[in-house]
């Protein structure tokens, strides 16, 4: 799950009680987009990249990322293979597949609909 930092850099004390399928899918969207843009990556590199690109506002917990990567691989959206990482250790690298690109397009449509609805609500609340 992606967890935003609060103002002042603190992490939220608890996970929100109410979830939305589109919000849950945010991790899928981020991973698929990142792999499309950057090519093959291993899990730890994904965690670091998301933190760095978001200026540490978004934090991905490894306990959420690895099950999501496994699920997306099982769904055929990702392909996984063992390679040597930058630090000369074996790491599992993930690559987006054609099915993953189709899913990414769907995730992007869902994200646009969700953010558009929230923006509309905020303007007209």
Task: Specify the pLDDT at position 20.
Answer: 37
CB 3 within 8 A of CB 59: yes
pLDDT at 46 over 80: yes
Q: At residue 48, what are phi and psi to the nearest 5 degrees? A: -65, -45
**Number of CB atoms found within 10 A of residue 107's CB:** 22
Strands 78-84 and 58-60: unpaired
Give residues with Cβ within 8 angstroms of 46, minimum separation 6.
Answer: 31, 34, 60, 65, 94
Alpha helix positions (H), the chain? 21-24, 26-38, 43-53, 62-74, 98-124
User: pTM for this structure?
Assistant: 0.80
70-92 pLDDT, tens digit per residue, is 999 999 999 999 999 989 999 99
Query: The tokens of 60 are what?
Result: 């991905």
Domains and CATH numbers, the chain: 2-9+17-124 (1.10.10.10)
**In angstroms, what is the C-alpha Rg of the chain?**
16
């Amino acid at each position: 799950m992606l967890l935003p930092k609060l103002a002042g850099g603190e992490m939220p004390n608890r996970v929100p009680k109410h979830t939305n399928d589109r919000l849950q899918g945010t991790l899928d969207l981020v991973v698929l987009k990142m792999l499309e843009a950057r090519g093959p990556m291993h899990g730890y590199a994904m965690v670091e990249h998301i933190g760095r690109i978001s200026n540490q506002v978004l934090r991905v917990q490894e306990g959420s990322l690895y099950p999501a990567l496994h699920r997306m691989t099982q769904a055929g959206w990702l392909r996984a293979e063992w390679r040597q990482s930058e630090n000369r250790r074996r790491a599992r690298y993930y690559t987006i597949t054609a099915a993953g690109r189709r899913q990414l397009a769907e995730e992007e449509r869902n994200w646009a609909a969700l953010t558009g609805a929230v923006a509309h609500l905020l303007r007209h609340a």
